[in-house]
Amino acid sequence: MFHTTFYLRRLHSLCGLLMLGFFILEHMMTNSLAMAGPQIFNMAMGMVEEIPKPVFYGIEIGMYAVPILFHGIYGIYIALQAKNNPRDYGYLRNWNFTLQRWTAWYLVVFLIWHVGYLRIYLKGITGTPMSFELLQNIFQNPVVAILYVIGMWAAIFHFCNGITTFCMTWGITKGPRAQNVINAISMMLCAGLCLLTLAFMASYFVY
């Protein structure tokens, strides 16, 4: 018998780990160049513009848009079925489960704004190239800057905690000890990436 839910959940998990993870790490590396100054950052953005458009759009649609849309839409379906009870069972794993759902809801709104405004409107419709100065101007609004940091932190936690759930879903970590080890490693990665986010965001206010 073909269990549709079984395979959909594993595809959902795989898309989250690989495609969403690659999306986050690519954004982290790109934004980290801001710490080297406007010239280095703009040079990197210029190199991205040199990628042939058919190849660039193929990557955006095939590697980013389709997998992330599937992960998001099916994730909403899963979240609507979930029962969160951190107050009744306040142990770490249950809180991680709950935060995974809360960050998912925030990310839905955050990505609509982030992709809709920066990628579709500014770059796609108005033809404005991505640059250090553009982002610096956007982040001058403290509300936008704070919401962006929260969005990055939400994405980072969602990805890092997703590493633990991926390993459990795919049977990589079968025992409590192995699960605790991978969870500890994932949370250390989460803390490191969150600190890196603060570092590159500070660059837009220093230069």
Mean pLDDT of 35-49: 91
pLDDT number for residue 1: 42
Mean pLDDT of 139-164: 94
Q: What percent of the chain has pLDDT over 90?
A: 43
pLDDT number for residue 84: 58
CATH number of the domain where residue 82 is located? 1.20.1300.10
Contact (Cβ atoms closer than 8 angstroms) between residue 13 and residue 169: yes
Mean pLDDT of 31-41: 93
Which positions ≥6 away from 129 have C-beta within 8 Å? Answer: 45, 49, 123
Structural domain count of the chain: 1
Helices (H), 16-88: 21-32, 38-49, 53-58, 66-81
Contact (Cβ atoms closer than 8 angstroms) between residue 122 and residue 128: yes
pLDDT number for residue 98: 83
- Residue 171, domain extent: 4-206
Taking the model in full, what pTM does it have?
0.88
Mean pLDDT of 85-101: 71
pLDDT number for residue 171: 84
Mean pLDDT of 68-94: 74
Mean pLDDT of 80-88: 63
Higher pLDDT, 33 or 18: 33
pLDDT number for residue 193: 95
Q: Residue 103: pLDDT band by 50, 70, 90 thresholds?
A: very high
Q: Which long-range contacts (CB under 8 A, 24 or more apart) does 176-183 make?
A: 183/92, 183/93, 183/96
Convert the pLDDT of each residue in 121-136 to its tens digit.
998 899 898 999 999 9
Q: Is the pLDDT of residue 117 over 80?
A: yes
Q: Which residue has the tokens 């190199």?
A: 47
